[in-house]
Amino acid sequence: MTKVLVTGSAGFIGSHVTAALEAHGHEVTKLDLRHGADVRDAALLGRLLPGTGAVVHQAAKVGLGVNVADLPDYASVNVYGTAVLLAAMAAHGVGRLVLASSMVVYGEGAYDCARHGRVRPGARSPADLARGSFEPCCPRCGSSLVFATIGEDAPLDPRNAYATTKLAQEHLAANWARETGGTAVALRYHNVYGPRMPRDTPYSGVAAIFRSALEAGRAPRVFEDGGQMRDFVHVRDVAEANVAALTGGEPGTLTAYNVASGEPHSVGELAAALAAERGGPEPVTTGEHRLGDVRHIVAAPHRATAELGFRARIGFAEGMKEFATAPLA
């Protein structure tokens, strides 16, 4: 049994992580802004951390960001907040961190070109997106590409405010681990969904946006052509990955793991599955786009299985059936 501080403990993922830790016999201390407890409060951390064996850091400002005006909040909560937390952990001798990172640190996923092998396309141009050309091309020859699974050692290329701050969190955690000898594990969540997911806001994930539309009797609006490939992983599986991470990693370094189902589906499939479970209305494909979005990002989850013993248990069909009517926050 370990005494664990969970930041963001009342949030969508954090609440499930807290429940899983307690179910596995760990003693959990909860910190969440909803309860007036801010991870940027060094004095508060000084009271909570003594005697703690590990911190599971879920607190964050999420979503891609609406515009540049969001940058200060992302930097304050995600970057400065993590720095304050790590400094307090060092001061109180807490030697293990499990960090909620994200697949957004990769930017675009992995792609293969028939002539040039594995390539990393740049950001899609506004002009291409405006004319409905959604698939990235080979940066060397301009040929079409085939998406592939992306592993943890792929180059990182954050393309929006949230992604940049999540990568900054990883770098700060690596700094902390090197300087203190602590163990840092970064869990790169893919598209998490499940009960208690926040309702539709400009910062919500696509699963919540579709589910909220259906609940209101509206057709889900699918951007681009709906062919964007993602890995949708259930929040209870994510919670179990956090429990497994308490025994993973190596002292003095940060180890990253994809947390995913290993079962990719398109955004269009997601919308169709949820609509079918709720009896409609059927999704509408709009051709709209957002500059911060990437086309395909599909995980290779093998490292988490081999090193943490983690494997997602809830399949897409089972998860969608539950999520279609599960309570939202």
Q: What is the pLDDT of residues 90-104, one digit of tens each?
A: 999 999 999 999 999
Q: How far apart are CA 15 and CA 217, in angstroms?
A: 28
Residue 291 corresponds to which amino acid?
Answer: L
Pair of tokens at residue 294: 């990437």
What is the identity of the amino acid at 205?
A: G
Asked if residue 202 has pLDDT above 70, the reply is no
- In the predicted model, is pLDDT for residue 293 greater than 90? no
User: Residue 275 corresponds to which amino acid?
Assistant: A
pLDDT at residue 113 greater than cutoff 80? yes
pLDDT of 122 above 80: yes
From residue 59, give the alpha-carbon distance in Å to each of 15, 74, 169, 248, 317.
Answer: 11, 11, 11, 21, 29
Name which of 318, 98, 89 is nearest 188 in CA terms. 98
Report which of 243, 247, 245, 269 is spatially closest to residue 257, judged by C-alpha positions.
245
The amino acid at residue 43 is A
CATH of region 3-109+150-324, choose from 3.30.70.890, 3.40.50.150, 3.40.50.800, 3.40.50.720: 3.40.50.720
Say if residue 159's pLDDT is above 90.
no
Residue-wise pLDDT tens digits, 224-262: 999 999 999 999 999 999 999 999 999 999 999 999 999
**In this predicted structure, what is the pLDDT of residue 64?**
62
Q: Are strands 110-113 and 117-119 parallel, antiparallel or unpaired?
A: antiparallel
Q: What are phi and psi of 270, to 5 degrees?
A: -60, -50
Sign of CA dihedral 98, 99, 100, 102: negative
Q: Over the chain, what is the mean pLDDT?
A: 94
pLDDT at 276: 98
Indicate if the pLDDT at residue 201 is higher than 80: no
Residue 63 has pLDDT above 80, yes or no: no
